[in-house]
Structure 1
Amino acid sequence: MNNQTQNAIDIVLAESLKELAATKPIEKITIKEITDKAGVIRPTFYNHFQDKYELLEWITVNELFAPVEPLLSNGMLKEAVTFILTTMEKEKDFYKRAVMLEGQNSFNEIFNRCVARAVQKYLDLESLAKVANYPWLKEELVADFLAHSISWVTIQWINKGMKVPVEELTDVYVKIFHSPFIEIVSSLKK
């Protein structure tokens, strides 16, 4: 991505895409439609993003994951997960359209990468990998496994209409990460 920080144009373009996606599949939304709705010209879009998929990634990073960094760095997993899921629930129409995207630019792939980064940064993957004591079981593989699991459950929640309350889904995630297995692994680090 060209720019990981937020500025006014990025925010306006993001809001434009989200509003358009509430009524139209993302793959059918054109850059012209995004810029017209945002009140900017096409070159402005391309000064900030390569394409609408990079804009989708910007939205995911800046609206879901960047705000929870302070929570995760302070061990506040429940609050971080609650924030992410609540944000998705508030933008339900957008995220329902986003999960319909398929391929390498899919929301699932973008979300999975973001989750993997968070898992690698905040979980003791070295201890998790050492528990099994296999040379092929590296931290990256453990992070990918956890990220795919979390992403899959979240995508299913969105696909099924977000009917499970945020509190219940958050509780499931927290219990998974605080299971006795994780506690044993975490104690190895100390």
Structure 2
Amino acid sequence: MSDITKQALAQSLKNLMITTPLAKITVNNIVKVCNVNRRTFYYHFQDMYALLEWIFKNEVSNVMEENKTYKTWQEGFLRIFHYLSANRKMVLNTYNSIGRDKLETHLYSAVYSLVLNVVDEITLGKEVSEKRKEFVVNFYKVALVGLLLEWIRKDMIDNPEQIIENLNKIISGDTHKALLGFKMP
């Protein structure tokens, strides 16, 4: 029952964010839409930003599912674009509010997980230091989330498939080279 309540609260906030800036939404608005009381809300979440964080944590990480391999990472990353597009109003509302850090935190987390899986796959059975792997993962995490944030900042107009295609042309083979082709102390 707890997950059903959390989902209802999340859907309520998402629906409100379609027409109302995040700063103008209250807990009372959220509970009124999904027909629960304030105590129920606070039983599950500390505040509205905790609910927003829960939404991004659950939805962004679920969106990639099994697409976290060297051959499928582009599909996983594309799914993040599609999720953000499908939730455009909520994402832009969050991006342009004090809750922006919740969005960024979970984008970084999801992309980190994606890149880490790819790096682990590439280095399986090879002698690559954890320090080098972590450096490469963080580099790609920052680069990929930077692309996402720039796309959001520019009102999510550019075609995600084209972004992925251009990205693939730039980094194709470079991950292998970054992991295996140079020595780090």
TM normalised by structure 1 equals 0.76
Q: List structure 1 segments (4+ residues) > 6 angstroms apart after TM superposition.
A: none
The amino acid that maps onto 1:123 is V
Residues in 2 aligned to 1:52 and 1:28: alpha-carbon distance in whole angstroms: 11
1:111 is the counterpart of 2:96: no
Which 10-residue stretch deviates more, 85-94 or 49-58?
A: 49-58
1:165 is the counterpart of 2:156: no
- Listed as ranges, the gaps of 5+ residues in structure 2 are none
1:71 is the counterpart of 2:64: no
The amino acid that maps onto 1:22 is I
- TM-superposed deviation, 1:93: 0.8
Residues in 2 aligned to 1:103 and 1:87: alpha-carbon distance in whole angstroms: 18
- TM-superposed deviation, 1:74: 7.7
Aligned ranges 1:27-176 → 2 under 5 Å:
27-73=23-69, 75-102=71-98, 105-124=101-120, 139-176=133-170
Does the Cα contact within 8 Å between 1:35 and 1:42 map onto a contact in 2?
Answer: yes
Give CA deviations for 1:7-33 in whole Å, capped at 9, x if unaligned: 222221111111111122223321111
- Listed as ranges, the gaps of 5+ residues in structure 1 are 1-5
SS of corresponding position for 2:19: coil
1:184 is the counterpart of 2:177: yes
Does the Cα contact within 8 Å between 1:64 and 1:84 map onto a contact in 2?
Answer: yes
The amino acid that maps onto 2:95 is V
**Percent of aligned pairs with the same residue?**
27
Does the Cα contact within 8 Å between 2:17 and 2:89 map onto a contact in 1?
Answer: yes
- TM-superposed deviation, 1:96: 0.7
The amino acid that maps onto 2:176 is E
For residues 56 and 144 of structure 1, do their structure 2 counterparts lie closer, same or farther at Cα, with a shift above 3 Å needed?
Answer: farther
Residues in 2 aligned to 1:61 and 1:116: alpha-carbon distance in whole angstroms: 13
- TM-superposed deviation, 1:172: 3.0
Give CA deviations for 1:44-90 in whole Å, capped at 9, x if unaligned: 22222222222222222222222313121584112212222112112
Residues in 1 aligned to 2:4 and 2:63: alpha-carbon distance in whole angstroms: 17
Does the Cα contact within 8 Å between 1:20 and 1:34 map onto a contact in 2?
Answer: yes
SS of corresponding position for 2:41: helix
RMSD value over aligned CA atoms?
3.1
Does the Cα contact within 8 Å between 2:119 and 2:133 map onto a contact in 1?
Answer: no
